[in-house]
Amino acid sequence: MNTKQEWIDKARVAYQKAYVPYSHFPVGACLVAKDGTTFTGVNIENASFGLTNCAERTAVFKAVSEGYTEFQHIIIAGETEAPIAPCGACRQVLSEFCSADMPVTLVNKDGKLKELTLGELLPYSFATLD
């Protein structure tokens, strides 16, 4: 089983592979399945910005395409001054497959961490509305 620091390292290495010719804003993610399998993702830009895919969704889509739908943790890392948070679309996609109490670790360029749960990031996801 990998350690949290190994997951952080994977997310930080991942963002070096981001395809960001327009924004120059690399982001990496490491999504951890319930069994400890990890999936990394990077943001992949497109000249039509609406077709850009974020690192978090890339990791989720890779995992789901391999048959994984239950997760225990996600790390999101960027070359930012403050720890980086996922966009609203990524929060909603994560809520489709992850519990509200799943830990989310946000990491900045210097390794500073912010620890939250998915529910704290998205308290009113479509999945929780009646």
Distance CA 53, CA 90 (A): 9
Structure pTM? 0.93
| Structural domains in the chain plus CATH codes | 4-128 (3.40.140.10)
Residues with catalytic function: 56
pLDDT surpassing 60 at residue 1 = no
R_g of the chain computed on alpha carbons: 14
Q: Using CA atoms in the order 62, 19, 56, 115, what is the torsion angle rounded to 10 degrees?
A: 140
Distance CA 117, CA 120 (A): 5
- The pLDDT tens digits of the residues spanning 50-91 come to 899 999 999 999 999 999 999 999 999 999 999 999 999 999
- The pLDDT tens digits of the residues spanning 11-54 come to 999 999 999 999 999 999 999 999 999 999 999 999 998 899 99
Q: Which residues are annotated as a binding site?
A: 54, 87, 90
Distance CA 130, CA 118 (A): 19
Q: Which residues are annotated as a binding site for Zn(2+)?
A: 54, 87, 90
